[in-house]
Structure 1
C-alpha cells in the first residue's frame, strides 16, 4: 500500500490482528462509531479480516501497516497485550488496554505504556503485578444503534429441482445482495450443497407449527403443488407466504400483496426490499375443516362400532452405553433417559443398549 503523505491523527487505534469475530474488534468498532464525529481517529492494523476492515472503513480511516507508513498521533491505543507499538507510529501518549484475564502464565501486561486501563475489575484482579494494581477500570463501550429487523423465513420441503432447491438459493442470494439480515430455516431430509449465508438446514420435524407461527413468511418455491399443505397451515396461523405461481395458489386463497407475495418461476426482478419492509399482516383466513370433515363423514357413513385402539404405553429406559439412535437422529450417551414405545424399548433391551427404569 502506498501513502501519499504521513498520517496524522489525534487518536490512532492499533491492532496487529483484526479477527473475523472478537471482543477487541467489537470494542474498536463501537468506540469509533461513538466518537468519530468528535475526534480524528485512525485505525491501523497489520492483518485483518476483510469484512471487519470494510466495516471500520465506513466509519473512520482504516489502514494496513506497511514499512512505508509514517503516522503520528496524540494518543495511541494498544489493545492486545501481545502487540508491540509499531516503529512507524509516533505517539505523544500510549494507552494499553487490558482486554483479557490472565489465563496462562505467558499473559503478561507489557511495560512502558503511559497509562493502563482494564475493561473490567475482573480482568484487573486476575493479574497480581504492580502495573495491574495501578491500572484503571473502564467497561467496554456498547453500541446503542438500533439493529435492523431480522427477516425470519421457513420452508419444509424436499430439496429437489421440482421443489425449488435452486430457487431457494436464488432468493437467498437476492436477500444477501441487498444486505438484508435473515435466517431461513429449511426442514428437509436432503443434503443442501453450497448452503447460502442465512440458511439453516434443519432435521425433519413432524411438529413445525411453532416455527411457522414465529416466522415472517412460509416459503414454498415449487414448480407446482396439488394442494400445498404448508401454505394452508401458514395461513391458518396468520403467517404470510412467499410462493411461486403454482396452479393451486388461487384455489387455496393466495393473494399477492395481501397474504404474501407471488414470485416468478425464473426468480428475476423480485422486490426483496418490499418483501422485507412490507410484510403482510391482518389478513383473514377461513378454514374449510368443518365442511371437509362433514364431507368425510358422508363418505365413510355412520360409525358401526366404537374405536378400541389406544395409543401404546411408553416405557422409561436408560442407555447403558453410547449408541446411534436413528429414531431420535442422534447419538444417545450412556445414562441418558427416554420414554419410548414398548416395541422399540423391547428391541433396544434385547440388544443390551438400554435398561428399564422403574417409575
Structure 2
C-alpha cells in the first residue's frame, strides 16, 4: 500500500509539478561549461561520484554544482524544495551527472543543449532491475524514470542489452566505457587509507581472515528483508578464533541488526577483505577487481529466481555456490578450495563483464562531458 502511494506521488511530480518549474526557467539560455552532480539517495556525495568529481576539479573552465539529498530521510517539504531547486538549475545546465534513479531529471522534455550522463552505481548485469521487474517499477507507472539519459556508462559490451531493456533506452545510449567509481579500487592510496581506517576501528581483526558478507537488497524500502543472517552469525561464532566477519547489510534492510552491521561503506571494505560472501549482489563484480574468492550463499535461490530473476544463468557464476548453513563453515575453513576458486572461469567471467573497468574509466567518461551537445 505504502509503495503504491509513493508511486502515485512520484507520477504526479513527474507529470505535473516539476515540468512546470523547469519550463518556467527555460527562458534563459543554457550556460556552456556548467555541470551538476546530483543524487537523491545521499546527503553527501555518493561513492559512485567521487572519481568524476576529482576529475572535474582538474577542469577550471567548468562550473560544477553539487546537489545531494536523501529522500528516505527528508520531509516531503524538504524533498519538494530540493527538487524545485534542481529543476531551476537544470533548465540552464549543460551536463547533469547522476548515478542512480533520479526522478527530477526525467520529469520534463529536456532541452537539446543539455545532456544527462548516468554513471549508475552497480557493475555488470546480474539480477533484473528497472523496467525488467515489477519489484522496481510497477507496470501501472506512467512515465519513464530513466527518460532523458543521454549516456549510461557500463562495465562491458555484454551489459548493453540488459541495461537498455531495464532502462527503456536505445542501445546506442549505453556506453561500455567502464564504471567511474571502480577507478578508486586501482588507487593504492585509497586502498591503504581504507585498511588503516578499518583496523583502527577493528584492531581485533588483525591477523585473522576477514570475511565480508554483503547480501543483496530484497523487496522495497520499508519492507525489505534479509536471508541468512542467523546462519552467518552462527558461522561467525564457530570461526571466531581464525576469521573476522564484517556484516554489511543494505541501508533499506529493516531487520534487527544492532551490534552486527558495520557502518563503513562496502566500497571501503573490499580493500581489507580476504573473502566475500554474497547472494545476488553486484558487489561480486567489484570483489573480482581485487581477485577475492567468492562464496555465493543463496538460501532462497528458487524463490528469488521466481520473483525477480537474472540476466544470466546463476549457476554459471564463478565462485563457490552453497545454500545451506552447515556448508558455510566448511567452505570458509578450506583455504585451498577458496584459493582455487579464483581460476580460469573466474578470470574469463571478469573479462566478459568487467573488461572496461581498468582504472581509467573516468577519463573516458570525461571525453563525453567535454563533447556536450553545445560543442
TM category, shorter: 0.3 to 0.5
TM-score (norm 2): 0.31
- Looking at CA atoms only, which structure, 1 or 2, has the larger radius of gyration? 1
Judging by fraction of residues, say which structure has more strand.
1
TM-score (norm 1): 0.33
Judging by fraction of residues, say which structure has more helix.
2
